[in-house]
Structure 1
Amino acid sequence: MTPNPLRPGQAAANPRRPFRVGVQFFLAAALALLAVPALAQQMPSSSLAADSADGPAAATSTMLPEAMSLSDRALLLATDLNRLLAPGSSDAAANVPPAQQGKIASVLQRAMALLGTPYVWGGTDPNKGFDCSGLVGYVFHNALGIDLPRVSREMAKSGELVTDRAKLNAGDLVFFGRRGRVDHVGIYVGEGRFVHAPSRGKDVQVSNLDTGYWSAKFMQARRLDGI
């Protein structure tokens, strides 16, 4: 028997549809931040201890570029992720095996829902603030149940080293430092950008890995098991 042909306008089954739906939900959550403060997010508190010594001790006008507005960052992220999911995308995340795509979407959803949360030294709580490793630890603990070391220099020993910067996948951990010592960590989101809690006086934001301050401080990247 010949299968019924597709009706006009009916799309064929897409094996990546669950991932696309998950990321579309994530985009909606990111854009919803335009209307509500980030600290209004009702998310479970992390059990991680607040004893971090991560990140630059203080922000200065020469350390970071002028922060983009929350609205601009959310819209930029939405544009980038739509391009990421487009057929034939060259971004490394498009080549992630289907079994891992749902995990990556969960990590990105959790991380980007925290845009605008203030930096707090030693912070691990979305209702109070994060430092860099507190943010990363919170995201992976709540998104995937993965417990990471508390500080960035110990996180830099986790998972598999990604030796080629051009082959980063969304969900990889990216590490930065000075004088050969790791002191900062973020989560790669694709298209040369990563989400992180930069320093005192700044909020959780998306920054560029390929140009500017953070490009010069990049040290290594790590891919956790299953990501």
Structure 2
Amino acid sequence: MVALPHPAVTAVRVVSACVVVAFLAGCAGSATRQGMEAPEDYFSMSLPGMKGATPQMSPVDPIDAHLRSLQTPPPTAIRQALLEQHQQWAGTPYRIGGTTERGIDCSALVRNVFRDTFNLQLPRSTQDQVHEGRPIDRQELQAGDLVFFRPPGAYNHVGIYVGDGHFLHASTSQGVIISSLDNNYWQRYYWQSRRTLEPTNLAHLGSRFTQ
């Protein structure tokens, strides 16, 4: 007669098997999700104290120190205005079709920032925004220029250049953040850049943007 295992031993074995299956399923799900999303650098962390702030930290210094270090592209006032917009929107989740702080997509963020900061009305969609202004070379980028990408999928992507190789945008995986153009993902799918902010556009806004 074959001895049957004690019920308690059987229960432990069943629980252990379930834990292993759940762990493997979780890893597979994470790998699939990571493969679909753009990798982000330390700029993906929200500013301390802002809505949606995460416990992620920069590998070197806090993000606000890095934002303050953006110094190269003129004019400084435009860059500062864009960084202020980043503080306002940081942590807002991505939502296709969204236009508010409850959820926003990339082209709506660009439209809202240009309307509120520069009093310039841009079209609602990326498809239309890509025809605004004039095309420029990537090496000519200045704060306020639009950068466009063609990632996999049905939709193109747009952001606003803020300087030092970084741009403000609504990331599908991280919400509103600042990312690096040198990131492998964004380098791979970079499409074009356009300048919509010309001196004539900014003249009526006063000396803040024309100095």
TM-score of the alignment, normalized to the shorter chain, above 0.5? yes
**Aligned mate of 2:45, from 51, 62, 69:** 69
Larger Rg: 2
Answer yes or no: is the 8 Å Cα contact 1:108–1:171 preserved in 2.
Answer: no
Change (3 A) 1:114 1:194: same
- Separation of aligned partners in 2, 1:146 and 1:224: 9
Q: Distance in 2 between matches of 1:104 and 1:206?
A: 12
1:122 correspondence with 2:109: no
Partners of 2:78 and 2:66 in 1: CA distance: 21
Aligned position for 1:19: none
Cα shift at 1:104? 4.3
Contact 1:111 / 1:139 at 8 angstroms: preserved in 2? no
- The answer to whether residue 138 in structure 2 is matched with residue 156 in structure 1 is no
Deviation at 1:207? Answer: 1.2
Structure 2 letter corresponding to 1:111:
H
Query: Which structure features the higher share of helix residues?
Result: 2
Query: Is the CA contact (8 Å cut-off) linking 1:80 and 1:191 kept in structure 2?
Result: no
Give the C-alpha shift of residue 155 in structure 1.
0.5
Q: CA offset at residue 103 of structure 1?
A: 4.1
* Larger RCO (alpha carbons 8 Å, 6+ apart): 1
On the 8 A contact 1:121/1:130 being kept in 2, the answer is yes
Letter in 2 for 1:150: R
Where does residue 192 of structure 1 map in the other structure?
A: 165
1:137-174 deviations in Å (ceiling 9; x for gaps): 111111111111111121011012112x1221111110
8 A contact 1:175–1:182 mirrored in 2: no
Closer, same or farther: CA 108–224 of 1 in aligned 2, 3 Å: farther
TM-score where L is the length of structure 2? 0.63
Q: TM-score when scaled to structure 1?
A: 0.59
Structure 1 unmatched runs, 5+: 1-58, 85-90
Q: How many residue pairs align between the two structures?
A: 153
> What is the root-mean-square deviation in Å for CA atoms of aligned residues?
2.6
Which runs of at least 4 in structure 1 moved beyond 6 Å after TM superposition?
A: none
1:60 aligns with 2:47: no
1:210 alignment partner, SS class: coil
Using the aligned pairs only, state the percent identity: 34
Q: How does 1:75-94 map to 2 (within 5 A)?
A: 75-76=62-63, 78-84=65-71, 91=72, 93-94=73-74
Label 1:69 to 1:174 Cα distance change in 2 as closer, same or farther (>3 A): same
